[in-house]
Chain A
Amino acid sequence: MATHTRELSSTEAATGRTAVRVRGLNRSFSEAGGVLDGLDLDIAAGEFVALIGRSGSGKSTLLRALAGLDRDVAGHGEITVPSQVSVVFQDSRLLPWRRVLDNVLLGLRSRGAAVRGREALAEVGLAGRERAWPHELSGGEQQRAALARSLVREPQLLLADEPFGALDALTRIRMHVLLKRLCAEHRPAVLLVTHDVDEAIVLADRVIVLDAGAVSSDIRVDAWVRPGGRRSQADPQFAALRTRLLAELGVEDDHDPALADRRKEPA
């Protein structure tokens, strides 16, 4: 079985070294095939990594392994993650019987947690909705509440499994801006699993392509797209990276770039 170490690496994380270290990770759901096949991965503290790959390439399996949710899956390997890990799921997974603030505070007992919970809700733009029931929120608001629930725990590692997959295009762009701002402020290491290549390029420091259970490419976005500035789909370098990543996923990018621009305003 896999060893899953949670070490108190807060000091290490703060000094800007590795937050996640994965070596030789194997996971399989059946005798026949491995979903993850000897995967190695390092994520530095505060680094934003996007993970893309075709369906069945093992993205979610890797994320669940890092979250410690794969106890019923066979496999072996070595995983080191920080002590404080938060997960954002594709569905907001708010408990329907708890009001929004109580959802954010789930499992937090320390004094002052309520204050931090309110601050976290204000940060994601949900001030004043503390007493609302989850079903009274829109899909985007629910996902923002889920983000607040993750961030109030001050995670050293944020695992996000297609968190914006179920949102409409406009809401998704707003969520990108929000997530970017929150990550800049809180500086967790982030592993974002996504299907959306544009989302990966807009948000991440590094894009990792997973294929057949192993890392097939590991690309620093800054090496392609003008560093520092806002990442725009109108940028030809953005388009070039997009084409390259889509090719890795086995998709020919035959979109008219002008059309793509109109479809999605740059965040």
Chain B
Amino acid sequence: MTAVLESPPVSGAPVDRRVVRRRLGPGRRVPFAIVTGPLVLVALWCVGSATGLLDPRTLSEPWTVVATAGELVADGRLQENLVVSATRAAVGLGLGVAIGLLLAIVSGLSRPGEYLIDGPVQIKRSIPNLALIPLLILWLGIGEEMKIITIALGVVVPIYIHTHNGLRGIDSRYAELAETTGLGRGEFVRSVVLPGALPGFLLGMRFAVTSALLALVVVEQVNSTSGIGYMITLASSYGQTDVIIVGLVVYAVLGLVADGAVRFTERRALAWRRTLES
């Protein structure tokens, strides 16, 4: 259908006579409208709780959850457990990143390294990380070592895979340049290899952060005596859905903050790139 708008020219106003077709695409974006969905969900939750459609034993009322969060913060339990969980995740992540990076560089820059390292890492990759927990408990017990090693093992693989991939994707002409400018191996790694592999490493980092949080959730439910996961497990046995919800929100916030931090680093560290992103 073609609609022709014919308005008589008003004296003074410029003439605007145009043909407008019906729009088939999704149309223009409305700022902040993306939060509509979550808000609708929270509203449904409020309505359900207020009308008694939602049993508090299934899901606590939103205002109870907020009050519980306030209490948990007031008596310091939430902060205490958060510090324990965040420390676990950070130590495991740091250890995994260091090992993954080292393996990727050795395997990426030397053939013997590749023949020794690449195979075992690929085999490790095909074993779901959490399936190793029973073995790790036997070896390391149920203490912090087991928890941190489990998190680290989940981090090593994505860091290795993406850094190795980024490193091998570096243009070989840059290696030629390094040779003609007389760079040593150390200088070559610093000036060419590491910056060239950085985009891959940072992508691996985003996967690693998710992987670390996933492992954190699981290990904290194995005979823990502290941490957000312990708080949730304890609440589960007492039927405190409000505490569970608070714990889940904390996990979500941890995940969002970690991912945001990596993305921020990406934007800052990769300012030299000219891509579709920038």
Contact = CB atoms under 8 A, between A and B. Distances in A.
Given A95-B191, A133-B271, A85 B180 contact: yes
A242 interface: no
Contacts of A135: 272-274
A86 B182 CA distance: 10
B21 interface: no
A93 B174 contact: yes
B187 interface: yes
Interface in B235-278: 271-274
A226 interface: no
A68 interface: yes
B180 to A, nearest CB: 4
Contacts of B192: 95
A134 B195 CA distance: 15
Interface in B163-205: 173-174, 176-183, 187, 191-192, 195-196, 198
Chain B CB within 10 Å — which of A91, A106, A133, A153 has the most?
A: A106
A68 B178 CA distance: 12
B179 A89 contact: no
Contacts of B196: 97
B177 A69 contact: no
B273 A96 contact: yes
Contacts of A98: 191, 195, 272
Contacts of B179: 68-69
Contacts of B182: 107
Nearest to B182: A107
Size band of the B side of the interface? 20 to 34
Contact of B272 (A93, A97, A107, A149): A97
B181 A107 contact: yes
A86 B179 CA distance: 11
A102 to B, nearest CB: 9
Contact of B180 (A69, A96, A97): A69
Given A106-B183, A107-B183, A135-B272, A69 B191 contact: no
Q: Tell me what chain A mostly uses at the interface: helix, strand, loop, or mixed.
A: loop
Interface residues of A, number: 20
A67 interface: yes
Contacts of A221: none
A87 B180 contact: yes
B177 A93 contact: yes
B272 A96 contact: yes
B121 to A, nearest CB: 26
A86 B180 contact: yes
Chain B CB within 10 Å — which of A86, A97, A106 has the most?
A: A97
Nearest to B188: A107
Interface in A61-88: 67-69, 85-87
Contacts of A133: 271-272
A69 B180 CA distance: 8
Contact of A91 (B173, B187, B271, B272): B173
Contacts of B181: 86, 106-107, 149, 153
A41 B273 CA distance: 43
Interface in B84-116: none
Contacts of A97: 195-196, 198, 272
A138 to B, nearest CB: 13
Contacts of B272: 96-98, 133-135
A95 B195 contact: yes
B187 A107 contact: yes
Given A96-B272, A107-B191, A133-B272, A69 B183 contact: no
A67 B180 contact: yes
Contacts of A89: 173, 176-177
A134 B177 CA distance: 15
Nearest to A146: B177
Contacts of A149: 181
Given A97-B198, A97-B272, A106 B180 contact: no
A93 B173 contact: yes
A69 to B, nearest CB: 6
19 contacts: A67-B180, A68-B179, A69-B179, A69-B180, A86-B180, A86-B181, A87-B180, A89-B173, A91-B173, A95-B174, A95-B192, A95-B195, A106-B177, A106-B183, A106-B191, A107-B181, A107-B183, A107-B191, A149-B181
Interface of B: 173-174, 176-183, 187, 191-192, 195-196, 198, 271-274
Interface of A: 67-69, 85-87, 89, 91, 93, 95-98, 106-107, 133-135, 149, 153
Given A69-B176, A107-B191, 14 more contacts: A68-B180, A69-B179, A86-B181, A93-B176, A97-B198, A98-B191, A98-B195, A106-B181, A107-B183, A133-B272, A135-B273, A135-B274, A149-B181, A153-B181
